Amino acid sequence: MDGLTDREAFDAMSLFLDQYAARAVDDLITLLGDVSALDDGQPTDPAAWTDWLSCVAQIKDRRAS
C-alpha cells in the first residue's frame, strides 16, 4: 500500500502542523499562504511541500514498526 489511510493522513497533517507551529508560532495566515498552490499546481512555499513530504514519510515509516 503506497497511499495513506484516512487515519495516517490525519496523523501526517497533525505532525506537519505541530512542526510548523514550533517554527512559526501561531500565524494561521502565513500557514494558509504557505500551503496554497499556485495556478500551475506548485506549492507557494516549496519548503512547506518538503516538510509535508517528510511528515508523510514519517507516518509511512511507522507501518514498518
pLDDT of residue 30: 86
Q: How far apart are CA 19 and CA 49, in angstroms?
A: 13
State the 10-residue block means of pLDDT for the chain, 65 residues long: 90 94 80 92 94 96 85
Q: How far apart are CA 60 and CA 64, in angstroms?
A: 8
pTM over 0.75: yes
DSSP summary character for residue 43: B
pLDDT of residue 8: 96
pLDDT of residue 22: 86
pLDDT of residue 49: 94
Instruction: Please name the residue that has the C-alpha cell 514498526.
Output: 65
